Structure 1
């Protein structure tokens, strides 16, 4: 029987449509495409809890899925606006459902806050382009989420906020110099979440589109000196997306196969499906 995935989009309608206009897909649609590349027979539904009046699954609906995935978002969770509070409430319901859940960036932040942790702006500033020198914690050694990752690796990333106070039920699995919670497992109310602060779902092409829309941030925060510098960086990422064998560009930007190889870049998502979703489908009598 095919796997049933629910992809929960963290963005408001305007942000979703802006991403679609620039990239051709909403973030949830792009994430669903990655899931279906990994599990070709998977069925993916999308949910938009930021929208007032959104038709969201109830408890039995959440339990009917084999996997629930939370995307990134342009929102800041400490603002606690209604579109954010709905997402926190939904995450609490996901925990209670016992359905395996996974999240990237905002997804990890929502999962932490729903478990009574806290998220604030990173005092070290924004992490842009790639999270560098990610390393396992002692607890992360041998954890199946990071199976196949080397001792140190890079991954696509763009975020200002970070988990500053992990919930008591959180096990930190990977860290780097910018954010001490880069990968984690959180168990609350019978449910277990795996998540990362970076974006294993992003292709270099999608990352390039996102950065192209943030030229002012790149300049204002000192990542690029000029708009031309920013455009050149985006152009290099687009070229590497089309031709990962461009060793000159890979060398220039310090990228290796952990980023350039799509299978290795999406390792955490593949591990989640292999080690959580498929085994628990059988345990829950749904195989």
Structure 2
């Protein structure tokens, strides 16, 4: 089964040599699931011809905001709608979560409550999962038909299911402690010092990345023929 990975941004240069790009992190998270992968750097205006180029799709994170005037964003939103209409599974994480919500009629803002960085607990109904976060932007209005499947006190819409074939997640199951450390070192200039200090202190905390990766894989596998 081929998973198409759409990259609307690149990992920081300072960590990419050791940890790879965002697509590499997802390939490691989803390893052992009998998937093959192909990636398109949509941030560089490199797009697939359409939904049929993969069996299922995944949109990664990005340092960009979905409300910013990037020339590639309208095309990505249109591709989101095409994938949804095709019935193929689509998963979005962080920026991916936000751009899917926006493309389908929701609203995303720079959250007035500030940042979430490092390990956070999320209520998924059947379990509480600890996952790394790194964001200020949030989905603040749901797209039509969205069902909230995870939240916490800071992030009301932390994970969504939309229709039969869309799963979106605000935190980062692909981010290891090493990645959070790299973000602290190289992309934390706008994050309050107290949050940075707590995230650094929590770097050794256990996360449930593998469990959420398994859930993502099960969702993506719905596209297998």
The TM-score with structure 2 as length reference comes to 0.88
How far the C-alpha of 1:91 sits from its partner, in A, is 1.1
* Alpha carbons of structure 1 residues 155 and 75: separation in structure 2 relative to 1, 3 Å: same
| 1:34 to 2:10 alignment | no
How far the C-alpha of 1:154 sits from its partner, in A, is 2.1
Task: Indicate conservation of the 8 Å contact 2:14/2:186, yes or no.
Answer: no
Higher helix share: 1
Task: Indicate conservation of the 8 Å contact 1:50/1:87, yes or no.
Answer: no
How far the C-alpha of 1:207 sits from its partner, in A, is 1.9
| Larger-Rg structure | 1
Task: Indicate conservation of the 8 Å contact 2:15/2:182, yes or no.
Answer: no
> What are the within-5 Å matches in structure 2 for residues 1-287 of structure 1?
3-11=1-9, 15-16=10-11, 18=13, 21=16, 23-35=18-30, 37-39=31-33, 41-52=34-45, 54=46, 56-59=47-50, 62-132=51-121, 134-136=122-124, 141=125, 150=127, 152-187=128-163, 192-218=165-191, 220=192, 222-224=194-196, 233=200, 237=203, 240=204, 255-256=205-206, 259=207, 264-274=208-218, 276-281=219-224, 286=225
* Alpha carbons of structure 1 residues 27 and 156: separation in structure 2 relative to 1, 3 Å: same
Task: Indicate conservation of the 8 Å contact 1:174/1:182, yes or no.
Answer: yes
| Deviation larger for 77-86 or 160-169 | 77-86
Q: CA–CA distance in 2 between the matches of 1:23 and 1:117?
A: 36
Aligned to 1:103, what secondary structure does the other structure show?
A: strand
Structure 2: state its 5+ residue gaps: none
- Structure 1 residues 144-168: Cα deviation after superposition (integer angstroms, max 9, x where no partner): xxxxx62x33210000100011111
Higher relative contact order (CA 8 A, sep 6+): 2
CA RMSD of aligned residues (A): 2.4
Task: Indicate conservation of the 8 Å contact 1:130/1:158, yes or no.
Answer: no
Q: Number of residue pairs matched?
A: 225
How far the C-alpha of 1:57 sits from its partner, in A, is 2.0
Partner of 1:252: none
The TM-score with structure 1 as length reference comes to 0.71
Task: Indicate conservation of the 8 Å contact 2:184/2:200, yes or no.
Answer: no
